[in-house]
Structure formats: C-alpha cells, structure tokens
Amino acid sequence: MGEEKAKIAVASILPSTVLWDFKTRPAESLLPLPQPDLRSLLPGLPRGAITEITGPRSSGRTALVHSLLAASTVAGEVSAIVDCHDSFDPASAQGVGADLGKLLWVQCGGRVDHAMKTADLILHGGGFGLVVLDLCEVPAAALQRLPPSCWYRFQRAVVHTPTVLVVAGGQPNAGSCAARRLEMGPRQAVWLGRAPFQLLGGVSVRAGLRKPVCPEPVSLWAAVLGE
C-alpha cells in the first residue's frame, strides 16, 4: 500500500479535524550549546543520541566539553564524566562555572574496558542529563579493538531518554551510531607580548560539523581560563 493510499485509509477512520502528515516528526529535544558562534553551526546536542566531539590536543574539545558540563549542571541536571585516563581537572570545570555537586566523576585509571562498562552502567541507570565519555588520551589502537556492538548498545541505552551522550576523542569512534559529530581544529595559538615576555592568550580554532556534513566551519576563540 502506497503512502497516499495509507493516508486516505487513515483519514477515513480519523475525524476530519485531525491533520495527518507522515513526514512530520516531533521536534528534536536539544541540549543548547552555550556558545552563540557554535549555535550557528549546530543549535544544540540532540537528547537521546550520541554526539562525538573530536580533535587533536589543544583544539578546544575539552573546553567545549567543560562548557557543556557547566551549562547542564547549572540548569539543574545531573551530569557524569567517565574519565578514561584520569585527566579531568575539577578546578578547570569549576572555573568555567560547572556545579561540581551535580557532577559524577569516574576515574578509570587508563582502563578502556572499565570506561566502557562504567558508561554503560550510567546510561542504563538513567536520569542523567549529560554523560561525557572522555577517550581523548586513549591510543587509536586500543579504540580500534573495541567491539562496534558497544556503540550500538550505548545508542539503544540513550534513545528515548533525555540524556545526551558525548564521546570526546582524538578520532571518530562511534561511527554510524553517532547522531552528530563536531570536529575541532586546526588551531592557532595566540601569544600576547614579545619573547621573552610572553603570555599564552588563547587559541583560535575552526570547528566543523562532520555529521550531518556542513561545508562551512566556524571560527572560535578560546581564551585561557582566568584571562
């Protein structure tokens, strides 16, 4: 039965006041991005889906993750960060405004299997607004050994929930399971003053949306915390 026939069949059953459009989907619930520049690229991170944030070191990927944690916890949500290599800096998170009392921090001591298992437990426990799986310092070889089924499991765990799962890493990992992918970089450090009297001012980054593909990247400025 074609779409038109199905429409006619359903319309004959339902009252005439009911408008029926098979192509209309409910509006996607989003965790808004705190940066107006980034919102021109992506209005927010979809809830109930996986979003990947990738990039090399000093590309601002952790800065973006921290600002998301701050936005989520300040809004009253409970968030979690699964820290694979114990590299999360609570002072930096507090510096960007995160409410540490509403943040669950799990240090996995470099064990990728522990990180994946912990993320799975948190996602299946439910109730978290934002869950960050930080795989930034994990070698690519270790990530490639992960079974792809774990990403499908995460996808199934978060779907139809208000949780945003952010996977931060140096490279894309979740493949087709990720609903969005933000790529940070290349970057350019900005130094204030002249040598030998210099100060690190910040970094200028170009962020691009790789899934769905957006051809126009945006430029971001990330000042050093405290400047």
Partner 1 sequence: MFACLHLTSPPLPSADLAALARQFSPLVEQTSAGTVVCSIAGLDRLIGTPHQIAAEIGRRGAAMGLQANLAIAADPDTAVLAAVNLPGVTVIPPGREAEVLGDLPVAALPATAGFLETLDRWGVATLADLAALPAIGLVGRLGEEGERMRRLALGQSNRPLQATPAPRDYTAGLNLDQPLALLEPLLFAISSLIHDLFRQLRRQALATNRMTLRLALEDRTAGTRTLEFPLPMHEAGVLLKQVQLDLEAHPPGAAVVSLEVRLDPVKPRRLQGGLFCPAAPEPDKLRIVLARIAALVGADRVGSPAILDTHRPDAYAVRPHALEVGVAESAAKGAPAQRDDRPLRLVSRLFRPALVAAVKLRQGRPAWLAARGVKGAVVAAAGPWRTSGDWWAPTAWARDEWDVGLDDGALYRIYQETASARWFVDGVYD
Residue whose CB is less far from partner 1, 178 or 203: 203
Torsion of CA 165, 166, 169, 175, to 10 degrees: 60
CA 179 to CA 165: how far, in whole Å?
10
Is residue 116 a contact point for partner 1 (CB under 8 A)? no
Is residue 181 a contact point for partner 1 (CB under 8 A)? no
Q: With CB under 8 A as the contact rule, which of the stretches 21-29, 80-88, 144-152, 211-219 interacts with partner 1?
A: 80-88
**Could you tell me the sign of the dihedral formed by the alpha carbons of 192, 60, 83, 81, in that order?**
positive
Q: Tell me the CA distances in angstroms from 55 to 127, 155, 171, one per residue in order.
A: 29, 22, 7
Is residue 141 a contact point for partner 1 (CB under 8 A)? no
20-59 residues in contact with partner 1 (CB under 8 A) are: 32, 34-36, 56-59
Is residue 62 a contact point for partner 1 (CB under 8 A)? yes
Q: With CB under 8 A as the contact rule, which of the stretches 21-29, 99-107, 140-148, 149-157 interacts with partner 1?
A: 99-107
Number of residues engaging partner 1 in binding (CB under 8 A): 77
Nearest to 179 by CA among 195, 167, 162, 189: 167
Is residue 137 a contact point for partner 1 (CB under 8 A)? yes
